[in-house]
Amino acid sequence: MTTPPLKPTGLRCAHQVNPLGVAAARVRLSWLLEGTGRDRGQRGYQIAVAPQEEQLSTGEAVCWDTGRVTSAASADIAYAGRPLTCGSRYYWRVRVWDESQGSSDWSEPAWFEVELDQADGWPAGWIGLGRIRENFRPPTETGPSDPVAIALTPAPYLRRPFWLDRPVASARLYVTALGLYEARLNGRRVGDAVLAPGWTDYARRIPYQTYDVTRLLNQGDNVVGAILADGWYCGFFGFDAKQAGAHYGEAPEFLAQLVIDFADGSQQRVVTDDQWRARFAGIRHADLLMGERHDLALEPRGWDAPGFDEAGWLPVHCRERDGRPLVADPGPPVRVIEDIMPRSITTGDDGRHVVDFGQNLTGWLRIGVDGPPGARVRIRHAEALAPNGSLYTENLRTARATDEFSTSGGPEAFEPRFTLHGFRYAEISGYPGDIGEASIVARVAHSDIAAAGEFESSQGWLNQLFRNIDWGQRGNFISVPTDCPQRDERLGWLGDAQVFARTACYNREVAAFFDKWLDDVADAQFASGAYSDIAPRLNIGWAGAPAWADAGVIVPWTLYKMYGDTGILGRHFAAMTAWMAFLERGNPGYLRTRDLGNGYNDWLAPAEDKTPAELLATAYWAYDAALMADIADAIGRPDEAAGYRALWSKIRAAFADAFVGGDGQITSDTQTAYVLGLHMNLIPGELRDSAADHLVAAISRENWHLATGFVGVGYILPVLCSTGYADVAYRLLEQDSLPSWRYMVDAGATTIWERWDGWTRERGFQSAWMNSFNHYALGSVGEWLYRFVLGLDLSPGTAGFGQLLIRPHPGGGLQWARGSYRSVRGPVTSSWQRVGSRFTLRLGLPPNVTASVRIPSDDPAEVRDDTGRGPAAIADYPGARGSLEAVFEVGSGRYEFSGPDLSSGRS
Ligand code: BGC
């Protein structure tokens, strides 16, 4: 029986499936391979690209035909054909040759559409109603001088009727706002994105979305419309009171063009211009932090459809576009991803209802009502309850997180459009009628990023920790990776994203999301070369903080490792080089002692943070230099790679001189100092073991607790597993008293807390000033669950998941663990168990992947694969000193390995 050829599927462009808008320079193609059996591999590929689908088969007008390319690459293939035309669609397909040298069939065609031309692609103007300040009554009972209430203004509704006299072949709506928009066409919502166009530094680039609206148009009368809100552009967010409500501008504006291609080949455009009419209506205010207030009786029903009388609607303010670039949004939109039903609703003596959704999440409520007109219903949100059962909102600081609506009478439903709350509980007051009939759901909203990883083990609390890490990611990946989704902050802190990036990649397909955010990081870089501490950076001048600003190098490198994406490296190489030059200019002695900016150091370390600032800073600088060498090699710049390697050795030597003693002891003796020194390879080889011993001594001094903050926490378990102390790693993992991951889980957490002691049994809540219950940084242990517990890792020195190191680290009380990671080369699965004195690993590798499989064992020569074959080699097992592992070299396929267990790894 012959094996069927490999089949290319899952075609993507710029990490997206059939994107409607992609910059020509970002067209990079990838595919997955389907195929059964073992040792399957791609030996070559051929890609064809053409403006019409039929041309792919006829071969006519093909604008790129690679011919047969001898290569195993199935991702990161940069388009190199004839120049692509802005605004046009291109179809593409691929076929592959496998190890039998037979060619596959051509794949199903995929397509992409190129973004519009900056210069003449946008014959449209910005429209809006300008700034009005009405002193609306705020959602809380505050007086008329309340500055927040004064800053909150109603949402403009905009409309434009038009006539189409011919049958439509296809139509696109290109649309954006300074602020947030919901686009409407003939009474229907366009697309399903929320909080669009997302957040960038609007002074530097404005993202737009493209929608295929062919099916929403009528031959005859049509109406295009939009509702606008302040959003990040001119609403409240962050904590800078002076800027609140006007970070980028004063009032929201809208920019759109509808491009209609008729069946007869002609074209018509409807653009934003002075022909539009607008008014304020039902949405009395809408703000990300403060919430939304909607008077349902003021909703002009039918306003977004033909046949509506627009008497009383005002002419819009219209201004020409300036030179700010409009870019097709490279990231995924924010969407409503799921609805969660209440777990319980309790009603207090005061008639207020408290709804518990059982999960800390980001989004808002939808609630049905059938009652008299004019009833005012108020919904407040909180992550936790106070001991008396009321909402605990102190940690929201100035974020009011309050939605309010008044009824128009009869059956209707309310849900806000332009706000976002971080909450598990909601308090509903003023509800007219039986709350049990209200059909309440929590609508979970975040950037729409598919899940990539799974993890499950024999310990229920650990599975909950895994879910909490993923929920923390979901709740904070809202157009940019934010620190927290609930209080008056919600900023793109680089340090948080940096420590969590690898975990994020394993959990979810974040390539396009981070690709977009790295543009924000580049936009936020200062002319000095210093990366900012937050991106987008607003007008906050904070820059250069160690472990924060270094994200400018670490995050692109992480994406390269996980996705093999060299495009990201190329796009940001000059910016990274400027950062490295900035560091070197300020620190000629190769110790990073200057320009440390705000120096957050090992932020929120549980006890006093004693890791010296210059030690932490120098470690990160050396790490940057090592990664820059890797990056330069990956994009074919060997001279720069050599330069960065030389820089790395100088910093490394300076680090060792300044901080490492002759017995491997590191200045300050803190856990984080050892973790950085060991993870970043800054300790002379002969001292690594004794430095690791010192780390373990430091952990034992804390009675086997973590003493790390944001910076040390992600690497501590990987470092222990790489230096012979997997047993200590498990001891920390399973620790259930403070500070520990398990303490949060046992306390009922459903996300990751900002602080180890955000709430304690003895003291209750930490200071309300900084006490988010949804901050992902301490969840960076997720990376260890995938790479070390499941053992799903890249081979050292490789990128893109083609060559793997499969090395599970069984330990602690875990009897089994299983999980998977959907990589750019397809799904990798690992499942191990310890039964009696045997250890068994089941492994699944997709085609075009090879792996070195390492099974730790007391008697590695006895380990067998499922064909009875013994190991190719025996090596030292890094998880436990003096222990060994059996080494198998395998290609794609499903395998089972089994042998005597490792007694030292059992608890
Ligand atoms: C944020 C953090 C951030 C930090 C900088 C805090 O307010 O919530 O997550 O990284 O500031 O130290």
Question: pLDDT class for 145, splitting at 50, 70, 90?
Answer: low
Token code pair at residue 660: 């490492």
Question: pLDDT class for 242, splitting at 50, 70, 90?
Answer: low
Residue 244: predicted pLDDT: 63
In terms of pLDDT, which residue wins out, 152 or 737? 737
**CA-proximal residue: ligand 1, atom 3 (nearest):** 493
User: Is residue 603 lining ligand 1, measured as CB closer than 6 Å?
Assistant: yes
Residue 136: predicted pLDDT: 44
**CA-proximal residue: ligand 1, atom 11 (nearest):** 493
Q: Of the residues 182, 640, 754, 885, which is catalytic? A: 754
Q: Of the residues 113, 253, 383, 489, which is catalytic? A: 489
**CA-proximal residue: ligand 1, atom 1 (nearest):** 483
pLDDT digits (tens, 9 = 90+) for 15-43: 999 999 999 999 999 999 999 999 999 99
Beta pairing partners, 284: none
* Ligand 1 atom nearest residue 598's Cα: 12
When pLDDT is averaged across residues 319-326 and rounded to a whole number, the result is: 94
* Ligand 1 atom nearest residue 239's Cα: 7
**CA-proximal residue: ligand 1, atom 8 (nearest):** 483
- Which of 396, 482, 483 gets mutated to test ligand 1 (max ligand atoms within 8 A of its CB)? 483
- Which of 831, 802, 726, 743 has its CA nearest to residue 455? 831
Ligand 1 center from residue 488 Cα (angstroms): 12
pLDDT at 490 over 50: yes
The answer to whether residues 478 and 420 touch, using CB atoms and an 8 Å cutoff, is: yes
* Ligand 1 atom nearest residue 777's Cα: 9
User: Is residue 500 lining ligand 1, measured as CB closer than 6 Å?
Assistant: no
Ligand 1 center from residue 483 Cα (angstroms): 7
pLDDT digits (tens, 9 = 90+) for 1-17: 578 899 999 999 999 99
Question: pLDDT class for 135, splitting at 50, 70, 90?
Answer: very low
pLDDT at 396 over 70: yes
Residue 240: predicted pLDDT: 67
Residue 868: predicted pLDDT: 97
- Which of 392, 332, 340, 385 has its CA nearest to residue 361? 340
Token code pair at residue 811: 């330990």
Ligand 1 center from residue 600 Cα (angstroms): 8
Ligand 1 center from residue 479 Cα (angstroms): 18
- CB atoms under 10 Å from CB of 434, counted, come to 9
Ligand 1 center from residue 421 Cα (angstroms): 19
When pLDDT is averaged across residues 316-345 and rounded to a whole number, the result is: 96
Residue 490 phi, psi (nearest 5): 55, 45
In terms of pLDDT, which residue wins out, 144 or 659? 659
pLDDT digits (tens, 9 = 90+) for 248-295: 999 999 999 999 999 999 999 999 999 999 999 999 999 999 999 999
pLDDT at 410 over 80: yes
* Ligand 1 atom nearest residue 604's Cα: 12
Residue 239: predicted pLDDT: 79
**In terms of DSSP H, where are the helices of 599-659?**
613-634, 638-659
The bridge status of strand 180-185 relative to strand 253-262 is: unpaired
Ligand 1 center from residue 523 Cα (angstroms): 20
pLDDT at 95 over 90: yes
Question: pLDDT class for 138, splitting at 50, 70, 90?
Answer: very low
* Ligand 1 atom nearest residue 603's Cα: 12
Q: With H, G, I as helix, E, B as strand and everything else as coil, classify residue 773.
A: coil
Residues of the chain above pLDDT 70, percent: 97
pLDDT digits (tens, 9 = 90+) for 716-760: 999 999 999 999 999 999 999 999 999 999 999 999 999 999 999
Instruction: Mean pLDDT check: name the lowest of 72-86, 241-255, 511-525.
Output: 241-255
User: Is residue 786 lining ligand 1, measured as CB closer than 6 Å?
Assistant: no
pTM of the predicted protein model: 0.97
The answer to whether residues 49 and 13 touch, using CB atoms and an 8 Å cutoff, is: no
- Which of 396, 480, 493, 773 gets mutated to test ligand 1 (max ligand atoms within 8 A of its CB)? 493
Residue 137: predicted pLDDT: 47
User: Is residue 776 lining ligand 1, measured as CB closer than 6 Å?
Assistant: no
What does the radius of gyration of the chain's CA atoms come to, in whole angstroms?
Answer: 28
Strand arrangement, sheet containing 7-13:
7-13, 28-34, 77-78
Ligand 1 center from residue 208 Cα (angstroms): 29
Ligand 1 center from residue 544 Cα (angstroms): 14
Ligand 1 center from residue 587 Cα (angstroms): 26
End-to-end CA distance of the chain: 48
* Ligand 1 atom nearest residue 600's Cα: 12
* Ligand 1 atom nearest residue 775's Cα: 9
pLDDT at 98 over 90: yes
User: Is residue 709 lining ligand 1, measured as CB closer than 6 Å?
Assistant: no
- What is the Cα–Cα distance from 389 to 457, expressed in whole angstroms? 34
- Which of 240, 531, 534, 600 gets mutated to test ligand 1 (max ligand atoms within 8 A of its CB)? 600
Ligand 1 center from residue 624 Cα (angstroms): 22
Token code pair at residue 55: 């041309």
User: Is residue 454 lining ligand 1, measured as CB closer than 6 Å?
Assistant: no
User: Is residue 423 lining ligand 1, measured as CB closer than 6 Å?
Assistant: no
User: Is residue 488 lining ligand 1, measured as CB closer than 6 Å?
Assistant: no
Ligand 1 center from residue 902 Cα (angstroms): 42
User: Is residue 600 lining ligand 1, measured as CB closer than 6 Å?
Assistant: yes
User: Is residue 496 lining ligand 1, measured as CB closer than 6 Å?
Assistant: yes
* Ligand 1 atom nearest residue 493's Cα: 10
* Ligand 1 atom nearest residue 533's Cα: 5
- Which of 455, 456, 580 has its CA nearest to residue 530? 580
* Ligand 1 atom nearest residue 710's Cα: 10
User: Is residue 207 lining ligand 1, measured as CB closer than 6 Å?
Assistant: no
Residue 905: predicted pLDDT: 54
Token code pair at residue 825: 């080369």
Query: Is 437 a known active-site residue?
Result: no
When pLDDT is averaged across residues 408-417 and rounded to a whole number, the result is: 96
Query: Is 754 a known active-site residue?
Result: yes
List C-alpha distances in Å: 275 to 373, 474, 758: 35, 41, 54
Residue 148: predicted pLDDT: 78
pLDDT at 139 over 70: no
Residue 61: predicted pLDDT: 80
User: Is residue 542 lining ligand 1, measured as CB closer than 6 Å?
Assistant: no
The answer to whether residues 360 and 384 touch, using CB atoms and an 8 Å cutoff, is: no
- What is the Cα–Cα distance from 288 to 401, expressed in whole angstroms? 8
The answer to whether residues 448 and 379 touch, using CB atoms and an 8 Å cutoff, is: no
pLDDT digits (tens, 9 = 90+) for 539-586: 888 999 999 999 999 999 999 999 999 999 999 999 999 999 999 999
- Which of 603, 754, 755, 772 gets mutated to test ligand 1 (max ligand atoms within 8 A of its CB)? 603
- Which of 496, 616, 754 gets mutated to test ligand 1 (max ligand atoms within 8 A of its CB)? 496
List C-alpha distances in Å: 545 to 494, 501, 679, 777: 9, 18, 20, 16
pLDDT at 229 over 70: yes
Residue 419: predicted pLDDT: 98
Residues of the chain above pLDDT 90, percent: 92
The answer to whether residues 425 and 354 touch, using CB atoms and an 8 Å cutoff, is: yes
Question: pLDDT class for 237, splitting at 50, 70, 90?
Answer: confident
pLDDT at 441 over 70: yes
Token code pair at residue 76: 């990161």
User: Is residue 595 lining ligand 1, measured as CB closer than 6 Å?
Assistant: no
- What is the Cα–Cα distance from 304 to 160, expressed in whole angstroms? 9
Q: How many helices (H) and strands (E) does the chain have?
A: 16, 49
When pLDDT is averaged across residues 178-207 and rounded to a whole number, the result is: 98
Residue 521: predicted pLDDT: 98
* Ligand 1 atom nearest residue 548's Cα: 10
Ligand 1 center from residue 770 Cα (angstroms): 9
* Average pLDDT, rounded, for the chain: 95
In terms of pLDDT, which residue wins out, 198 or 371? 198
